[in-house]
Amino acid sequence: MALEGQSVSRLRKDLLQLLPLLGNPESVVSAFPSGDNMLEWTGTIKGGKGTVYDGKVYKLTLEFPSTYPIKPPVVKFMTPCYHPNVDQQGNICLDILKENWSSLYDVRTILLSIQVLLGEPNNDSPLNADAAKNWNKEVYKKALEKFEKEIAK
């Protein structure tokens, strides 16, 4: 219980870091606890300007362990995302959420890292081989549009 209390009080601080961003239309990330459970959050990120994801908005879920911030949260895309490092279930392959996690990261920096990852994928360890193959090519934009059309159906 004491441990959980610690993760909740840390998440309150994370929330305080995010509050100034909530009203700002310029901010690219936002997040808020989904319901009464402070350990489950919903976040949104906007695709970076000048990238193929410009203008797109993605929803994500963040599930925090009771040991947060010693252990990282599980972050998943709720909105289907065509990206080399995101699989069909929305799982994200990002080192700072796994072996390179540091207790210094908070919700804001996690979401910013994912936002940067959108525009700068790591094509060496792809979860979506098709997207990794098409990255930085003319066909990528088309493949992305086609993916989103199929999802919309």
Q: Among residues 37, 67, 122, 125, which is the contact residue for another protein, using CB under 8 A?
A: 67
Nearer of residues 71 and 141 to another protein, judged by Cβ: 71
CA distances from residue 44 to 77, 80, 124 in whole angstroms, order as listed: 9, 13, 26
Q: Which is nearer to another protein, 1 or 152 (CB)?
A: 1
Residue 93 known to be catalytic:
yes
Q: Least separation, in Å, of the C-beta of 25 and another protein?
A: 25
Q: Is 37 in the site for another protein (CB under 8 A)?
A: no
Asked whether position 1 contacts another protein by CB under 8 A, the answer is no
- Among residues 49, 71, 141, 142, which is the contact residue for another protein, using CB under 8 A? 71
Between residue 93 and residue 152, which ones bind another protein under the rule CB under 8 A? 102-104, 106
Pick the piece of the chain touching another protein (CB under 8 A) from 3-11, 84-92, 108-116, 144-152. 3-11
Q: State yes or no: residue 51 binds another protein (CB under 8 A).
A: no
What is the full DSSP assignment across 102-118?
A: -TT--HHHHHHHHHHHH
> For residue 53, which of 137, 127, 144 has the smallest C-alpha distance?
144
The Cα–Cα gap between 153 and 147 comes to 10
Residues 144/58, Cβ–Cβ less than 8 Å: no
Report if residue 20 touches another protein, rule: CB under 8 A.
no
Angstrom distance (rounded) from CA 115 to CA 97: 14
Q: Which of 41, 43, 45 is nearest to 8 (CA)?
A: 41
Q: Which of 60, 62, 81, 93 is catalytic?
A: 93
Helix segments in 2-153, DSSP class H: 2-22, 107-119, 129-134, 138-152
Where on the chain is the footprint of another protein (CB under 8 A)?
2, 6, 9-10, 13, 67, 69-71, 102-104, 106
